[in-house]
Structure 1
């Protein structure tokens, strides 16, 4: 019988909703996102004693990005994801009354769905850069390291991705 690493269950419990959200943004498919998180956590588990005192969140995200890239390379190109974006469990908007000047929960969901649809229209490389850089709020250096790209490539992919998002979202 294998002994569970100390703190792994707490990490999974605390970070799974956010990891699932990131995975969905990377894959554009709710089922693939769940598979991506589960596979990434399964690959992290044997390394837990080595990484738990460092930055396990970054380690899991690195595994997720590399797995998503690997899956995308093997994926049939004709697939079109159609699932809606799952909301993170913590801090979900719309749990109370809306205050004056704040968007309603319905408006926030509509915006969220429009962004998810627009992200699905980006090429996978641009989508990964935009998700990590702007939605995960990672610095250019960290995105470059996670994706194995130069900083210049991250900046150009981010610029192209944002330009495409502006165009797509202005049409809607």
Structure 2
């Protein structure tokens, strides 16, 4: 079953049967790393696990309604973006000086610096307009190409390029203002 493409796994995972659980588990293992990077970039590393759990619960509940009008990965990224937006709306925005410091006591200094940088990046991303944040996050953290992003967001290719360009410029400004050299 490991060698089956998504196009064959999704129907197996969508409908009751003896292969449903195994097919769904394979989809989870196959796509979770990329989705986790995407969620971490949007909501921060501390909330990404919760978002990912919400994504997979939603996918499990709604997979039978997937119409395959787009690629499964396109639909999956849209579900992830929606879960990230829900998580961002649910929590109060924190000013930068209230971003929690890394809590690991046994991490070396470098790991602490990287955790701080990730937290500052998550803060800066949260300050972007949603359409720019989505496009930048799908490109830089999700690894999608421009055409895939256009499919996920339901916009034209030129719009994707514009949003990414503006989002990157805004991120540079936000990060520079807090002492991070992008």
Q: 5+ residue gaps in structure 2?
A: 1-15
* Aligned mate of 1:23, from 39, 44, 59: 39
1:60-79 alignment to 2 at 5 Å? 60-68=76-84, 71=86, 75=89, 79=92
Match of 1:80 in 2: 93
* 1:67 positional shift: 4.5
Match of 2:115 in 1: 109
Rounded to whole Å, the distance in 1 between the matches of 2:120 and 2:154 is: 29
Specify whether residues 114 and 10 from structure 1 end up closer, same or farther in structure 2 by C-alpha distance, changes over 3 A only. Answer: same
Q: Is the 8 A contact 1:41 1:60 kept in 2?
A: no
Rounded to whole Å, the distance in 2 between the matches of 1:67 and 1:111 is: 23
Q: Is the 8 A contact 1:65 1:146 kept in 2?
A: no
* 1:62 positional shift: 2.5
Q: Is the 8 A contact 1:28 1:120 kept in 2?
A: no
TM-score normalized with structure 1 length:
0.65
Rounded to whole Å, the distance in 2 between the matches of 1:85 and 1:145 is: 36
Match of 2:165 in 1: 159
Count of aligned positions: 150
Q: 5+ residue gaps in structure 1?
A: 87-94, 98-102
Deviations 1:39-84 (A, max 9, x none): 3212322537x89xx9654442222224545x389x47x9305666
Rounded to whole Å, the distance in 1 between the matches of 2:141 and 2:152 is: 15
1:44-55 alignment to 2 at 5 Å? 44-45=59-60, 47=63
Residue 11 in 1 paired to residue 27 in 2?
A: yes
Match of 2:13 in 1: none
The DSSP-based 3-state class of the residue aligned with 1:6 is helix
Q: Is the 8 A contact 1:23 1:64 kept in 2?
A: yes
Which of the pair is proportionally richer in helix? 2
Q: Is the 8 A contact 2:101 2:116 kept in 1?
A: no
Specify whether residues 108 and 141 from structure 1 end up closer, same or farther in structure 2 by C-alpha distance, changes over 3 A only. Answer: same
Match of 2:53 in 1: 38
Rounded to whole Å, the distance in 2 between the matches of 1:122 and 1:15 is: 26
Specify whether residues 26 and 119 from structure 1 end up closer, same or farther in structure 2 by C-alpha distance, changes over 3 A only. Answer: same
